[in-house]
Amino acid sequence: MKSSLSYEQLRAAANEYGTPLYVYHAEKIVSQYQNLLSHFSSNNTRFFYASKALTNIHILDVVKRSGCNVDCSSINEAKLALHVGFEPKNILYTSNSVSFEEIYEAVSLGIHVNIDSLSNLEKFGEKFGNRYPVGVRVRPNIMAGGNLKISTGHDKSKFGIPVTQLNELIEIQEKYNINIATLHIHTGSEIKDVAVFLQSAEVFDTLLASFPTVNVLDFGGGFKVPYQPNEKGTDIALLGAEVNKAMMRLSEKYGRKLMAWFEPGKYMVSECGYFVTTVNVLKQSGDIHFAGINTGLNHLIRPMFYDSYHHIDNISNPTASPQRYAVVGNICETDTFAWDREIPTIQEGDFLVFYNAGAYGYEMASNYNARFKPAQVLFEDGISKLISRRDTFEDLLSLQLPLHK
Ligand SMILES: *Cc1c(COP(=O)(O)O)cnc(C)c1O
């Protein structure tokens, strides 16, 4: 698998900053956004980077400079975006199961809000009536996404207001004269099939007549990117063409100028990221060759949590003949990154890199086993800079009150 950062750049970063190390490539983020822009109608489509994938403010700054907007999953993410200098009108907060106080705070920050329960919508109506345009997340009862854990639109999902409760939704809208400006559907992550997004358009079609103030259809995120060497991601060109058609049809049918919004997370940052680790120990047992590395599920949980595939390469010796390895972590827990994987022959001390480490990598890292969280480095214009330092022992104690006064 070809990296956009070279082996040499990754090795240099590992030598300079130490491992385990998350390394990101700014130009890749920008080119992903440019690719989206090139395939969707420019005058009625907006993209909001789902920042929960990677919230470091230097990454948010790259996103902002690219011209992309930002979607948040918590009020703190919204505050990080404001901190970076995003304008409130370019920030969207898609809330779920949050207290009404957070929605109230989002309104006072002046950002867009998607509400995902009848209960919070009712409170919103009581408080704001029609004074603040708001989005409503509906649950379309569509099964989509890479696996059940990352599917959010099916009929047992906690997300959104079920389409079967349409009458209650309309009742609340009418009771408080709420200005519902956006209908939102996010069916899951790693959706390769363009038809899933068109199904969302069909659901919007059944709803639009009941929501005369809606002028935005928010299709959520979930575009698939390739993780395996020969895998294909979502066909963005096809998606763009089909969504443009659907939007034209709906705009005409309902006599309104409708905007399409999207919230890509993985698509924006997955491939920009590399997780560089060091092999501590080689161990053989029967015909299994273990490569024990200086990290674990505390730093990259996706393989154990989602059974995710991350391509692994030996950047210290990429041309060595391949052997099969079980790549395991250093946590007191079974934390296997790959069970039986061909990797160029490994020596202790080699650097192994995990690809697709930009999205939900560092962001889901923890201090489990009282280990330090890795440092993060950003390459831009060929130059690397540290964007968050590795933890220190003091950091482990920093939130704990001292034993002895
Ligand atoms: C997580 C999330 C996204 C982004 O999903 P990706 O698979 O990373 O693109 C978009 N919208 C909402 C509401 C989300 O919760």
User: What is the pLDDT of the chain when averaged over all its residues?
Assistant: 96
CA of 222 to the centre of ligand 1 (A): 6
* pLDDT cut 70: percent of the chain above it: 99
Question: Per residue in 132-182, pLDDT tens?
Answer: 999 999 999 888 888 888 888 898 889 999 999 999 999 999 999 999 999
For the entire predicted model, the pTM comes to 0.97
pLDDT for 149 equals 85
Does pLDDT of 3 surpass 70? no
Other residues' Cβ atoms within 10 Å of the Cβ of residue 386: 15
CA of 175 to the centre of ligand 1 (A): 31
From 69, 71, 364, the mutation candidate for ligand 1 (largest count of ligand atoms within 8 A of CB) is 71
From the alpha carbon of 190, which atom of ligand 1 is closest?
Answer: 7
From 54, 73, 239, the mutation candidate for ligand 1 (largest count of ligand atoms within 8 A of CB) is 73
The Cα 70–Cα 373 span in angstroms is: 25
From the alpha carbon of 53, which atom of ligand 1 is closest?
Answer: 8
Question: Is there a catalytic annotation at residue 332?
Answer: yes
CA of 94 to the centre of ligand 1 (A): 9
Does pLDDT of 394 surpass 90? yes
pLDDT for 79 equals 98
Average pLDDT over residues 54-58: 98
pLDDT for 90 equals 98
Question: Per residue in 232-262, pLDDT tens?
Answer: 999 999 999 999 999 999 999 999 999 999 9
CA of 190 to the centre of ligand 1 (A): 10
**Contact between 266 and 361 (Cβ < 8 Å):** no
Closest C-alpha residue for ligand 1 atom 10? 221
* Higher pLDDT pick, 4 / 12: 12
Closest C-alpha residue for ligand 1 atom 15? 73
Average pLDDT over residues 103-115: 98
CA of 52 to the centre of ligand 1 (A): 8
From the alpha carbon of 52, which atom of ligand 1 is closest?
Answer: 1
Question: Residues with beta carbon inside 6 Å of ligand 1?
Answer: 50, 52-53, 71, 73, 94, 186, 189, 220-223, 263-267, 359
Peptide bond connecting 318 to the previous residue in cis, omega within 30 degrees of 0: no
Q: How confident is the model at residue 1 (pLDDT cuts 50, 70, 90)?
A: very low
From the alpha carbon of 184, which atom of ligand 1 is closest?
Answer: 13
Question: Per residue in 63-98, pLDDT tens?
Answer: 999 999 999 999 999 999 999 999 999 999 999 999
Q: How confident is the model at residue 2 (pLDDT cuts 50, 70, 90)?
A: very low
Closest C-alpha residue for ligand 1 atom 8? 265
From the alpha carbon of 191, which atom of ligand 1 is closest?
Answer: 7
Domains of the chain are 40-264 (3.20.20.10), 270-397 (2.40.37.10)
From 46, 48, 49, 52, the mutation candidate for ligand 1 (largest count of ligand atoms within 8 A of CB) is 52
Question: Per residue in 198-228, pLDDT tens?
Answer: 999 999 999 999 999 999 999 999 999 999 9
CA of 264 to the centre of ligand 1 (A): 6
Question: Per residue in 333-372, pLDDT tens?
Answer: 999 999 999 999 999 999 999 999 999 999 999 999 999 9
